[in-house]
Amino acid sequence: MRELRYTLVTNGSSDTALLPILTWLLKTHGVSCAIQPEWADLRQSRLPKKRGLADRIRWSLDFYPCDLLFVHRDAEREPREKRVDEINEAIEKVVTSHPVPPAVCVVPVRMQEAWLLFDEAAIRHAAGNRSGHRSLNLLPIRQVEQLPDPKTRLYECLKQASGLSGRRLKRFPVHKRARRVAELVDDFSPLRTLSAFNALESDIVEIIERQGWT
């Protein structure tokens, strides 16, 4: 295989922060060919506004054909297993009328932003103030999945790290900088203390071995 193309299906554009994490996992576990990640951006498509998960998967595969499919759902207040079942049920609906490549469920506990709250250097860099010294009050990584709203916490950390105030802080593009954090992390291995990340990694390893992509 000269390249591995994968498509990520998500609820929104902020979840594109998962792309660097998924690519890191694939490379870490032996995929040495070129990796071509794609986020299934359906925002500009002339598709029905009421989109079930099965519909979004089907359309994503039409517009973004791939060798490997990742489907993301935040667990939020539900058990991870329930979200995985929902994704698998949606994939089963698609399979009846559409070829589906190997698929992996991506289900962070609460929200995917919880997986970006461990690398202080990356947060400061993304905020545009690498030499800042304001305390970010980051929790131990084992506790980040317990946060009720990790997205808000990440945004607060970025604003604090920026060192800005007043009008400049109001103009600070926190949504854009939040996605940048994942791009600046070199090593996601600290996330292995989190059960949801371990489950994702195990599923990726299984598919890599099954497909012979090492």
Domains in the chain: boundaries: 3-109+194-211, 113-184
Q: What are the distances in angstroms from CA 197 to CA 99, 154, 201?
A: 27, 18, 6
Integer Cα distance of 33 and 39 in angstroms? 19
What digits encode the pLDDT tens for the residues 44-65? 777 676 678 999 999 999 999 9
State what percent of residues in the chain have pLDDT above 90.
84
pTM attached to this predicted model: 0.94
The whole-number average pLDDT for the span 13-25 is: 95
Distance of CA 146 to the CA centre of its chain: 18
172 and 164 Cβ atoms separated by less than 8 Å: yes
Q: Which CATH class is domain 3-109+194-211?
A: alpha beta
Q: Report the SS3 class of residue 208.
A: helix
Secondary structure of residue 155 in the 3-state scheme: helix
Look at residue 1 and tell me whether its pLDDT is greater than 80. Answer: no
Number of H helices, E strands in the chain: 8, 4
Return the SS3 of 3: strand
